[in-house]
Structures are given as structure tokens and as C-alpha cells.
Amino acid sequence: MRVRETFYRGPERGRERRAMPAATYNLTRILLSRTADAYLFVPIRSMQYLAIVESGEFHFLHSEARPDIEISWQNFTPGERAALGDPVAYEAVYYGAHAEATMRRLQGEFLRALEQMAARSAPSSSGAVLELRRRVTD
């Protein structure tokens, strides 16, 4: 059963340019590729936050303030990286009163939550190598 939820942005309180570690960005791409939906819900239990990950934007909501978005990460520029291991620039947009203070912990805790989710949803079957034989034609 699917439940439809609506989330709201309040007035923008601030915006700043930041850099996301490559491990975080790359893992979100992997997890998004594993889901049939265009979004991913990531519980950040250590902070009582929920991250809603979409391809172009990540939203963060506090469990007590749902359905209000407190922070959004947007305008990712992965194409500017020289290598996959380089950080990805983005903008953090603050909507909540305490969003800037929350941001100090959020990036690290978000990665830990992604790693936990990836460990739980890792493909369980092993791959098989197929031997392809060349056809002999006369």
C-alpha cells in the first residue's frame, strides 16, 4: 500500500555553497539506481531526521517538525569533478530556524545512514560468468 505525503518549504533563511564528499554522492546514486521509484527515504536515526533523496535534490525533515523541510541540498554539479573520487559542489538551502546548527552534523550522519541502508539492501545473489563460445562457420 502506498501512502502519499506532502512536504512544505517555509521561507528561505539562508543559502550557502558546500562540497559533498564523493562517497556520499556516489552512494546516493547507487541506492537510487536500486529502487524502482525516483526517490529514496533515508532515516537518520542518530539525529531523528528523515532524508528524502531525489536525483536533483535532497530534503531533510526533523521527526517532530514533519511535514516541514528544514534543509535542502540542491544544484549538484557532479560534471565539474575531474574524477569520481572528487567532492561534488552543491547549495545547502536553510528553511528551519536551527538549520545551520543542524548542518554541522548532518553531512557525516547522512553518510552513516546511507552506509547502513546500503548494507541492508546489498544484492544477495552472486554473479555468474558465462562462457561464450565462438560459432564455427563454414
**Given this model, what pLDDT does residue 134 score?**
81
Q: Which of 1-5, 71-75, 84-88, 123-127 has the lowest mean pLDDT?
A: 123-127
Model confidence at 128: pLDDT above 80 = no
For the beta sheet containing 39-44, the strands, ordered from the edge strand earlier in sequence to the opposite edge, are 14-20, 88-94, 71-74, 57-62, 49-54, 39-44
For the chain, what is the radius of gyration of the CA atoms?
19
Cα separation, 96 vs 86, whole angstroms: 29
More confident call, 126 vs 6: 6
Interatomic CA distance for residues 15 and 17, integer angstroms:
7
Residue range 8-20: mean pLDDT, rounded: 95
Between these two residues, 132 and 72, which has the higher pLDDT value?
Answer: 72
CA-to-CA separations, 94 to 1, 10, 11, 31, 122, in angstroms, rounded? 32, 9, 9, 25, 33
- pTM of the predicted structure, to 2 decimals: 0.83
pLDDT mean over 55-82 = 93
3-state SS assignment for residue 73: strand
Reported as a single tens digit per residue, the pLDDT across 71-120 is 999 999 999 999 999 999 999 999 998 899 999 999 999 999 999 999 98
